[in-house]
Amino acid sequence: MRAYERLLKYVSYETTSDESSETCPSSPKELVLAEALVEELKQIGVADAHVDKDGYVYGSIPATKGAENEKAIGLIAHMDTAPAMSGANIKPRIIKDYDGADIVLNEKLGVVMDTVTFPHLTNYVGQDLIVTDGTTLLGADDKAGVAEIMTAAAQIIEADAQAGEGSAHGKICIAFTPDEEIGRGADRFDVEHFGADYAYTVDGGMLGEIEFENFNAASAKVHIKGENIHPGEAKNKMKNASLLAMEFNSMLPPAEIPAHTEGYEGFFHLCGMSGDEENAHLDYIVRDHSMDKFLERKAMLERITAYLNQKYGEGTVTLNMKDSYYNMREKLESDMYIVDRAVEAMRENDVEPIIQPIRGGTDGARLSFMGLPCPNLSTGGHNFHGKYEYVCIQSMDKMVDIIKTIVRKSN
């Protein structure tokens, strides 16, 4: 079975993670797919496949004879899909031999994926694409990664069983995780039980991507306490919390937002706001690749808070910040052979590596700080989290070959 065939099967499972839930996994529907993946792992020969009480799927392929002392390599992908758009009743469609034209996803709703907005489409002329029907996301993030790992595992086990085929490999550890899309994918990951010396998350985009740098990240929640007075008697008395919230935001650098930044440039991102005269709330995420600049961004929020409290009275503004994850480069710089291994594997499969920073985070970032060095690899998909999501079938096949090459290279 090819990887894309598995993907088509996996996206039939609704696995949208739920940020409002306090359970793990956040949605019981994730467990349904987890149990199905355990059964499939057992069918392909992963004898120790199992799902734990928190919905994490684990399994392993033993080292081949003579390679028992090689370092154990981990392969990780997540099962959930983003709550940004519906992941229910996904109706994927295969476009064979793509001709380079705009793609009508849903004629009735007028949903068109055009090459002006998405110029990378033209890189896939003559190849086969899996797209949505314009009403849901696709779920290639990260069920394409799950499918590629599963397919590679099946082919490795089959080759191991045939005398003289393939080359030696150390132990291969496999994990499929819940709740990555809501930032909890590594919360209950059992690194010791997993058993790998290092790992790769297969959770990236365009074929060839290798990512070992990501943002340092924090959330910042601002609460503003106002003083509501009848408008007719408000002079020199009213403190309008909504206006104070606007003042708070106006004190941040206007160009340091996602709409005006790229590459290594950090930002403040206002994710949500609400309020009236009495109370107002601002929710931010704070991002920067540089730890020094990240700390300065947090310090700026603290200075604004202190200034407004001095101006309007202590307790007017309350700031709560919480770090989310850190740049995994700090943990990988001493283990760059892991990245080099992926670079070499891609080139051996005629794929030019694209090394770039992640303008976000992955489970691999947190796992790296938990003692499991873990860069991120491509899946072959684009436009994640929305109706324009698509993945190239041939890219998925290439990723299967790259994974097999990575695990069979000498440590």
- 3-state class of 198 per DSSP? strand
Other beta carbons within 10 angstroms of residue 2's beta carbon come to 13
d(CA 146, CA 11): 11
Residue with tokens 């407004």: 308
Rounded Cα gap, residues 327 and 361, in angstroms: 8
DSSP 305-366: HHHHHHHH-TTSEEEEEEEEE--THHHHGGGTHHHHHHHHHHHHTT---EE--BSS--HHHH
Q: Rounded to whole angstroms, how far apart are CA atoms 1 and 236?
A: 73
Q: Within 10 A of 296 (CB to CB), how many other CB atoms are there?
A: 12
- In this structure, the strands spanning 103-106 and 111-113 are antiparallel
Indicate which residues carry an active-site annotation: 80, 180
